[in-house]
Copies of this chain bind each other. A is one copy, B any other.
């Protein structure tokens, strides 16, 4: 077991996976920040800022900036978690370090670009492209996993 957990490929995987998971989790405080600065909440118990019940109720609203960050978070969930799951199975197939590093870096890099571009609302195709690069890295790893031993 120690042979595996000390291998360069596994250490690279665990580093990149942890970094991109932390990046994904960072979207939660970012959402909270936008909710507070935009005064747009989803739960009545979060509107303590408001003094009157009327003012509180007005804070239960949908704000475009908040929704943007939430969509970005959701997109992370849809892509980062498959990467970590497939990436672990890929690491277990014993890939070449150089190939693995390339795929891990491509994915993690593309997700940082994706989040930045999404929150900043940069024009397309920057967001679509960064999404696509990440998707390709995961699909490539999935192909390697299936090729290493397909049992149906």
A interface residue numbers (CB < 8 A to B): 1, 3-6, 8, 11-12, 14-19, 21-22, 24-25, 27-28, 42-46, 48, 67-68, 71, 73, 77-79, 81-82, 84-86, 89, 92-93, 121-124, 127, 131, 135, 138-139, 142, 145-146, 148-152
Contacts and interface: CB of A to CB of B under 8 A. Distances in A.
Given A21-B86, A25-B78, A84-B85, A92 B145 contact: no
Contacts of A135: 25, 28
A15 B15 CA distance: 25
Nearest to A141: B18
- Stoichiometry, copies per complex: 3
Contact of A25 (B71, B73, B92, B138): B138
A5 B151 CA distance: 13
Nearest to A5: B92
A31 to B, nearest CB: 9
A17 to B, nearest CB: 7
20 contacts: A1-B1, A5-B92, A5-B93, A6-B149, A11-B151, A14-B149, A15-B146, A15-B149, A15-B151, A15-B152, A18-B86, A18-B89, A21-B82, A28-B78, A42-B67, A42-B71, A43-B71, A43-B121, A45-B121, A73-B78
